[in-house]
Amino acid sequence: MKKVVLFCAAGMSTSLLVSKMQKAAAAKGLDYEIAAHPLSEVDIHGPEASIILLGPQVRFKLNEIKAKFADKPVEAIEMRDYGMMNGENVIKHVAEVLGD
C-alpha cells in the first residue's frame, strides 16, 4: 500500500478531494491510502508518505517541502483539478509519478 498525503492550509478543504481520489483509486484497483492534513503537520505525516501533494493555497511552499523530503515525490495539485475536485485526474497524475 502506498500513502498519498495531501497538505493544505488547514487540512479541511481537501477532504472532498480525498473522497473523490479514494473512489478513483479504487476504480483503478490502486492500493492507496489517501489522507489530508494541514501543512503545519508536514513533519508528522510527511515522512510516512509515498508522495506528498500540496493544495494550491500552499504551493508557494513547494521548493521548501521538496528540499525537506528529497527522498520522495512532492507535487502541487493542479489548480484546475483542485477547484473542480477532479479526483480522477489527481489520481492519474499520482499513479504516473509513482509508476503504477
| Residue extents of the structural domains in the chain | 2-98
The C-alpha angle 46, 51, 52, rounded to 5 degrees, equals: 55
Dihedral pair phi/psi, residue 30, rounded to 5°: -90, 130
Identified catalytic residue from 4, 5, 6, 8: 8
- This model's pTM is above 0.85: yes
Q: Would you state the CATH architecture of domain 2-98? A: 3-Layer(aba) Sandwich (3.40)
C-alpha cell of residue 10: 488547514
Give yes or no: 34 in active site.
no
Dihedral pair phi/psi, residue 3, rounded to 5°: -105, 120
- Spatial separation of the C-alpha atoms in residues 99 and 38, rounded to whole Å: 27
Which one-letter DSSP state was computed for residue 29?
A: T
11-60 pLDDT, tens digit per residue, is: 666 888 999 999 999 999 999 999 999 999 999 999 999 999 999 999 99
